[in-house]
C-alpha cells in the first residue's frame, strides 16, 4: 500500500500573489520571573498535587514522574478510561497508550475508549473510581485521577510536565521535527522499557522506527497533524525526508491519514473503527487493519482530495483572470476619460471667450438672456448641455477609475488566502482536512463549516492574532442596543422641537470583536463562531470600520437605526455571525468560496455537490466540480 513512487509535489505554488514570506514571530513563550511565581501560576490554573517543570526538552526522569504517578494510582484504582481526540493522531496514540496502561496494571475495555471533540469535551463526566487519560486533547479540569498527554500548547505554554500532565509543544519544534501525541506516547513506552535517551535524541536517532508497524502509525499521525509541513510554505524538510527514507509514498500517506480521520469524525463509523482496533493488543494489529479501513472509504477520500485540488487550481486561475480583467478595464476607463476630456476641450473652444471655462455661466445665460430661436444660442445651449453631460460622465468615470485602481492594488498585493464556506458535513473532520489540503496545495486559508445557529472553522497559515483580526465582526452590546431601541421609539412620539434636542446616541458604542473560541499551535488553528449580528451589520461588513460607523451614526442621527435593524428581512433582524463574515471576506483581498449544496445533503465526501461560487473584490464566478456521486444503496457510483 505504501510502496515507493514519485512524491507528489503540488503544481500550484501560489502564483504571483502568494510568494511565501518569512514569518515574523509575533509571540514568544512567556517566561516566569521565578520558580515560585511559575508554581503559583500553575496552582491557580490547575490546582495539581505536585510542582511542574518548565524546560526545553524531555528527559527520562520527566517520563518516570508521570509513569510512577500512574503506577501509584493503580494501587487504589484498577480501571482506566482513555479520552482521545477523534482524529488519526488521537486514535493511534490512544491505541498505543492503552497497552502502556495495561502494563501498569490497568484494565482497559474497548468501551472505555472514547473519541471526543473540543465542542463535546465539556459534557464528559468523571467517575472517581477510574483514572482518565486524555490523549491529543486536554481536559477542562484536572484532578488527581485525570491525566493528559498532548502536543498542543496549554495556557499559552509550550512545555508542561508534572505527575499528571505530559505536554510538549515548543513553538520552534518544526525546525527539528514535527510533533504529535503519537511520538510522545512511543517515547513514554521507550522510557518505561528502560530507555535512557532524551526525547530529541530518541526522535532524531529514529529509535521509534525499529518496529515497522509502529513506524507506520507514527508517520500516519505525523502527516495527519502536520500536513502543512509538506506545503510550499514550509522551511522544514524533515517530514518529507522521513517519508523518503522509509520508501513510502507521500500521496498515499496523506490519503490514508485523511481516511482514518474521516472515519473517526463520522458518528456511525467511529464506534466500529474503535472496536476493530481496540479489541487487539498493538502487536497483533498490522498494516492490513489500516488498509481495510482506508479502502472502505477510498472513493469518498478521492472526492475530498479532488475537491481541494480543484478549488486551489480554480482560485489561482480566478485571481489571474481578475488581475488581467481589472487591467483591461482600467485601460478602457482611462481611454474613455481621455476622449471625453478632448471632446470637452473642443466644445469649449467653440464657445464665446468669456464662457470657455464656465459651464454654469453658459446655462445661466441661456435661461436668462438667450434667444433659443437664434442659431447662435441654439449652438451655445447644445454645447453647454453636452459639456454638462460629459462632465457628469467624467465624475462617474473617475469614481470607477478609483474603484478599479483599488481592486488592482488589492489583487496585485498579496492575496490573504482562500476563505471557504461549506455546509454541514457527514464527518466533523472534513473542515480541518480541507484546510490542510488547501494549504498543502499552496493557499493559506480559513474553512468555515456552517450550521443553523453557529459555525466551526479550521485555518492554516496564520497566527492566532491574525485570525482574531480577520474573524472580527461589528456588533452592539445587546443590552445597550435594546435600550437604544426603546429610546428611539419613545423619541418618535415627541414633538419635533423635543426630538431635535434629544441626543439618543450619546451612550451608543460599537464593538468590533471575535465571537467564539479558538485553539491550536504553529500555523494550525481551529475554533467556533457563535452568536448573531443584526442583518444591517452583515450588509455593512463590506465597508471599512470607519465607513460602517459613519453610516450607523447617520442612521442614529435621523432616528432610523432601529427601523433599519428590523426592516431588512421579513421577521428576521439578525443573522448568524458567519453570514456577516462572508460579506466581509467577499469585499476584501480574500478569494471567498461558497459551496452550494447538491439535491440532498451537500456532502463533499458523498459527491453531493451543486456548484461552487468564488468571489474576489466584487467579481464572482461559478464553478462545477466533478465528483463521484455515491449512492449508499448502489455500488455503481457515478460521476
Q: Which residues of the chain have pLDDT under 70?
A: 1-56, 154-158, 171-176, 235, 351-363, 365-372, 404-414, 475-511, 534-574, 598-601, 632-639
pLDDT on residue 341? 87
Evaluate whether 474 touches 548 at the Cβ level (below 8 Å): yes
Q: What is the pLDDT of residues 281-314, one digit of tens each?
A: 777 778 888 888 889 999 999 999 999 999 999 9
What is the average pLDDT score of the chain? 77
Q: Which candidate, 636, 615, 614, places its Cα nearest to that of 623?
A: 614
Evaluate whether 521 touches 153 at the Cβ level (below 8 Å): yes
In this structure, the dihedral spanned by the alpha carbons of residues 388, 389, 391 and 392, taken in order and rounded to 10 degrees, is 110
pLDDT on residue 302? 95
Residue 513 three-state SS: strand
**Cell 485601460, located at residue:** 331
Q: E strand or H helix at 380, and its extent?
A: helix 375-412
Q: How many residues are listed for the chain in this entry?
A: 639
pTM: 0.73
Q: What is the pLDDT of residues 118-172, one digit of tens each?
A: 888 888 999 999 999 999 999 988 889 999 999 887 666 667 888 999 998 876 6
Q: Which residues contact 186 (CB under 8 A, 6 or more apart)?
A: 96, 208, 214, 218
Q: What is the pLDDT of residues 179-195, one digit of tens each?
A: 899 999 999 999 999 99
Do strands 418-422 and 445-450 pair parallel, antiparallel, or not at all (unpaired)? Answer: parallel
Q: 212-226 vs 250-264: helix axis angle to the nearest 10?
A: 80
Burial class (CB in 10 A: 0-12, 13-18, 19+), 211: middle
CA 82, distance to chain mean position in Å, is: 29
Residue 610 three-state SS: strand
CA 313, distance to chain mean position in Å, is: 19
Q: Which candidate, 114, 115, 117, 97, places its Cα nearest to that of 106?
A: 97
Cell of 578: 458567519
Q: E strand or H helix at 108, and its extent?
A: none
Cα Rg of the chain, angstroms: 31
Residue 619: beta bridge partners?
A: 616
CA distances from 164 to 34, 132, 146, 227, 467 (A): 22, 10, 7, 29, 32
Amino acid at each position: 500500500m505504501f510502496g515507493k513512487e514519485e512524491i507528489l509535489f503540488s503544481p500550484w505554488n501560489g502564483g504571483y500573489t502568494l510568494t511565501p514570506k518569512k514569518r515574523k514571530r509575533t509571540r514568544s513563550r512567556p517566561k516566569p520571573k521565578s520558580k515560585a511565581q511559575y508554581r503559583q501560576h500553575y496552582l491557580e490554573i490547575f490546582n495539581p498535587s505536585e510542582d511542574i517543570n518548565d524546560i526545553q526538552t524531555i528527559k527520562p526522569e520527566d517520563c518516570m514522574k508521570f509513569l510512577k504517578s500512574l503506577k501509584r494510582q493503580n494501587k487504589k484504582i484498577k480501571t482506566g478510561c482513555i479520552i482521545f481526540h477523534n482524529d488519526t493522531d488521537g486514535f493511534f496514540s490512544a491505541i498505543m497508550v492503552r497497552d502502556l496502561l495495561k502494563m501498569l496494571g490497568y484494565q482497559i475495555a474497548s468501551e472505555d475508549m472514547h473519541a471526543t471533540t473540543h465542542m463535546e469535551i465539556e459534557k464528559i463526566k468523571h467517575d472517581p473510581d477510574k483514572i482518565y487519560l486524555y490523549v491529543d486533547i486536554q481536559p477542562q479540569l484536572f484532578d488527581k485521577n485525570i491525566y493528559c498527554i498532548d502536543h498542543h500548547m496549554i495556557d499559552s505554554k509550550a512545555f508542561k510536565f508534572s505527575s499528571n500532565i505530559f505536554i510538549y509543544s515548543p513553538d520552534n519544534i518544526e525546525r527539528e521535527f514535527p510533533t504529535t501525541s503519537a511520538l510522545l506516547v512511543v517515547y513514554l513506552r521507550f522510557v518505561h522499557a528502560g530507555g535512557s535517551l532524551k526525547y530529541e535524541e530518541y526522535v532524531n536517532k529514529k529509535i521509534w522506527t525499529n518496529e515497522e508497524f509502529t513506524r507506520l502509525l507514527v508517520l500516519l499521525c505525523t502527516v495527519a497533524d502536520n500536513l502543512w509541513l509538506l506545503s510550499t510554505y514550509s522551511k522544514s524538510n524533515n517530514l518529507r525526508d522521513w517519508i523518503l527514507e522509509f520508501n513510502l509514498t507521500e500521496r498515499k500517506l496523506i490519503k490514508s491519514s485523511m481516511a482514518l480521520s474521516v472515519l473517526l469524525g463520522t458518528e456511525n463509523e467511529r464506534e466500529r473503527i474503535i472496536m476493530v482496533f481496540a479489541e487487539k493488543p498493538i502487536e497483533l494489529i498490522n498494516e492490513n487493519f489500516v488498509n481495510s479501513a482506508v479502502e472502505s472509504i477510498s472513493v469518498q477520500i478521492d472526492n475530498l482530495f479532488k475537491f481541494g485540488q480543484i478549488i486551489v487550481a480554480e482560485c489561482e486561475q480566478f485571481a489571474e483572470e481578475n488581475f488581467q480583467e481589472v487591467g483591461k478595464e482600467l485601460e478602457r476607463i482611462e481611454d474613455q476619460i481621455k476622449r471625453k476630456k478632448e471632446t470637452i476641450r473642443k466644445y469649449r473652444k467653440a464657445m464665446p471667450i468669456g464662457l470657455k471655462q464656465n459651464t454654469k455661466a453658459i446655462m445661466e445665460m441661456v435661461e436668462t438672456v438667450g434667444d433659443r430661436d437664434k442659431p447662435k444660442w441654439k449652438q451655445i445651449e447644445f454645447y453647454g448641455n453636452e459639456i454638462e453631460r460629459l462632465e457628469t460622465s467624467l465624475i462617474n468615470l473617475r469614481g470607477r477609475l478609483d474603484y478599479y485602481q483599488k481592486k488592482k492594488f488589492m489583487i496585485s498585493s498579496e492575496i490573504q488566502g482562500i476563505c471557504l464556506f461549506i455546509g454541514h458535513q457527514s464527518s466533523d473532520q472534513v473542515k480541518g482536512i480541507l484546510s490542510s489540503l488547501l494549504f498543502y496545495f499552496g493557499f493559506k486559508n480559513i474553512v468555515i463549516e456552517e450550521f443553523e445557529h453557529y459555525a466551526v472553522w479550521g485555518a492554516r497559515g496564520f497566527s492566532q492574532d491574525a485570525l482574531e483580526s480577520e474573524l472580527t465582526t461589528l456588533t452592539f452590546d445587546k443590552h445597550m442596543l435594546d435600550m437604544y431601541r426603546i429610546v428611539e421609539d419613545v423619541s418618535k412620539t415627541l414633538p419635533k422641537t423635543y426630538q431635535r434636542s434629544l441626543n439618543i446616541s450619546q451612550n451608543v458604542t460599537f464593538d468590533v470583536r471575535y465571537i467564539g473560541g479558538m485553539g491550536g499551535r504553529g500555523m494550525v488553528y481551529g475554533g467556533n463562531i457563535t452568536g448573531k449580528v443584526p442583518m444591517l451589520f452583515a450588509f455593512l461588513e463590506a465597508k471599512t470600520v470607519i465607513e460602517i460607523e459613519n453610516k450607523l451614526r447617520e442612521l442614529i442621527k435621523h432616528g432610523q437605526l432601529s427601523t433599519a435593524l428590523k426592516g431588512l428581512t421579513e421577521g428576521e433582524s439578525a443573522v448568524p455571525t458567519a453570514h456577516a463574515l462572508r460579506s466581509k471576506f467577499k469585499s476584501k483581498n480574500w478569494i471567498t468560496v461558497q459551496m452550494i449544496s447538491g439535491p440532498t445533503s451537500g456532502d463533499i465526501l458523498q459527491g453531493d455537490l451543486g456548484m461552487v461560487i468564488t468571489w474576489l473584490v466584487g467579481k464572482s464566478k461559478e464553478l462545477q466540480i466533478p465528483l463521484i456521486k455515491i449512492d449508499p444503496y448502489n455500488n455503481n457510483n457515478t460521476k
